[in-house]
Amino acid sequence: MACFGLVLHQERPEAVVLAVDATRRLEADGHQVRLLRTDAVSAGLNGHGVDEADFVTGLDVAVSLGGDGSMLRAVHLVAAANVPVIGVNLGQLGYLTEVEPGGIWEALDQFLRGDYLLESRMLLAVTVLGQEIGEQVLPLLALNESVLEKTPLGHTVRLDVSIDGQVFTPYAADGLIVATPTGSTAYNLSARGPIVAPTHRAMVLTPVSPHMLFDRSLVLEPETTLRITVNGHRPARLAVDGRTIAELRAGEGIECTASPHSAQLVTFGPRDFHRILKAKFGLSDR
């Protein structure tokens, strides 16, 4: 018997319904089901709620019920324990989710039969320098990106960049994105950064609205140690995979490199990234 962890988008009624149905069916077949306490309360499954620290213990697979945001949340919960994640798409066409709602039962059956593949995705390890950030465990893991950017009401920020201990250049910009290949189609794409095949291993440094002549992205080796430091009197806000972590001031910053952990995404056949790109952008065959 297997232990399933459900991670749901609490504001999507269809995710709640599917979580309740999945819990009932899986338990009827003798499997164990758990949710985070907040998710369990939202779904009326209070008896299945556990603390975040206990979520991965003995877990065989996490099942994300939502969109790409729910997948990010699931990966953050389980990646350090190398637990695989199945993504059930309850949003629009997602880059990360693999299964449509109508295919969830076949997908779970296939997983239980061992009829699946694991797609390994690089994670960033992000360490905050010069500031304590409360209960957060360092390094932070990012599947998409780490961003240092101006505060909501602020002007451009000055961010000094060094690569493998060597000074590269100061940036005057609205922000800097450090993206993984998976995250190259997220904020990095909006900032006109390059699209990188998601199973590749690299770090992409992309400036956001730079106020300087050099406005190109850099594609760096994953083993690179990239350090970004706030310079000047204007603070910068740090966000990791869309979650605001801290406001950093002069002399504070972040260090990014590839994490020794990877996100393990469950697939049921080769994943056609190019088809997803074509669908997202409405590209024609000719």
At 151, which CATH number? 2.60.200.30
274, 116 in Cβ contact below 8 A? no
Q: In this predicted structure, what is the pLDDT of residue 136?
A: 66
Describe the strand order of the beta sheet including 243-248 as a list of residue ranges.
218-220, 203-208, 175-179, 145-150, 236-240, 243-248
Which structure tokens are listed for 141? 């893991």
In a domain, 53, yes or no: yes
Q: In this predicted structure, what is the pLDDT of residue 93?
A: 63
At 47, which CATH number? 3.40.50.10330
107's enclosing H/E stretch is helix 104-113
d(CA 172, CA 158): 5
Choose the catalytic residue: 21, 51, 60, 68. Answer: 68
Domain count, the chain: 2
In a domain, 286, yes or no: no
Are both 256 and 145 inside the same structural domain?
yes
Are both 256 and 162 inside the same structural domain?
yes
Are both 147 and 251 inside the same structural domain?
yes
Beta strands 32-36; 3-8: pairing state: parallel
Are both 59 and 185 inside the same structural domain?
no
Domain, as residue range, for 178: 123-260
Burial of 272 (0-12, 13-18, 19+ CB in 10 A): exposed
pLDDT in tens, the chain (286 residues): 899 999 999 888 999 999 999 999 999 999 999 999 999 999 999 999 999 999 999 999 999 999 999 999 999 999 999 999 999 998 776 778 889 989 999 999 999 999 999 999 999 999 999 877 666 667 999 999 999 999 987 789 999 999 999 999 999 999 999 999 999 999 999 999 999 999 999 999 999 999 999 999 999 999 999 999 999 899 999 999 999 999 999 999 999 999 999 999 999 987 778 887 887 788 888 7
285 is annotated as an active-site residue: no
Q: Hey, what amino acid is at 229?
A: T
